[in-house]
Amino acid sequence: MDTLFNSSSTSSFTFIQTHKNPQSFSLRTCGYLPFSSQFKTQSLVCLKAHELTPLNVLKKRGLKCVSSGEGLADEGEGVRRKNLAVFVSGGGSNFRAVHQATVSGDVHGNFVVLVTNKHDCGGANYARENGIPVIIYPNTKGEPEGLSSTDLVAALSKYKIDFILLAGYLKLIPSELIRAYPKSILNIHPSLLPAFGGKGYYGTKVHKAVIASGARYSGPTIHFVDEHYDTGRILAQRIVPVLANDTVEELAARVLRQEHKMYAEVAAAVCDERVIWREDGVPIIQSKANPNHYS
């Protein structure tokens, strides 16, 4: 049986011990827990089992035990399905891969809107075909119907967006949007950042530079977005070998296959609330199969 320990009225946290792994605990809170080391997210603090304070000590500190029969779900269950926005500038193959994962149930979220700077790009057409609204941003001579940064933030708020995924979006994200969605905007880049990143490094330009450098390894990176190109905190990477006789097209195809897999996996972790922020500001992912393992 799962066991839940509720705090006194002066605290705001909940321990959950799972029946699947009695040595695994989770703590749902938005507050600070002074008696143990912790990993934090907006809605989850995970404690390593060996760092947990003994139960008798917890009880002395005002905790009381209640039954798990009061509507509790097993760890990883009962998480609200997330609303996702995606930004694209081209064909949107990464968007399509993650969208298919939401349809199959592998990602616990729904794409509710797409933002693009090219109204007729492949990603935008795919969104329309699947009933996903399309917003044009920014306002330019080529896209006179595009929104301003302020109007974009207002428009996205109407969709109650939880996370934003950039999938081949080539414009710099406005600071207004970054402030509105802190630690909630992800981008995928086709190199192992911080190498071969920054303004001007996108698409085949990245792979051409990798091959020309003589690097033996490349691969995609998923990172959180800040005010600059490709400088946000790295969340996930996957290594892809660069072969001696690789062409740009061959390396690009090999990396793209890993992009599709990794973005779907990371989107699943984000929607499951398994992204943990270390005290030093580095985000890591908690394994769904083994909650005591992080990557």
Q: What residues are annotated to the active site?
A: 189
Apex 227 CA angle, 224 and 233, nearest 5:
25
Contact present, 221 and 191 (Cβ < 8 Å): yes
Omega before residue 194 within 30° of 0, cis: yes
Q: How far apart are CA 208 and CA 157, in angstroms?
A: 39
Bridge partners (DSSP) listed for residue 13: 29
Query: CA 243 to CA 26: how far, in whole Å?
Result: 43
DSSP H helices, 188-231, are: 204-213
> Which residues, at least 6 apart from 48, have a Cβ–Cβ distance to it below 8 Å?
37, 292
Assess whether the previous peptide bond of 22 is cis (omega < 30° from 0): no
Name the DSSP letter for residue 6. E
**Residue 276 to residues 4, 179, 291, 294, Cα–Cα distance (Å):** 22, 20, 11, 9
Which amino acid, 181? Y
Decide the pairing of beta strands 25-29 and 3-6. unpaired
> Phi first, then psi: what are they for 224, rounded to 5°?
-75, 155
Tell me how long the chain is: 295
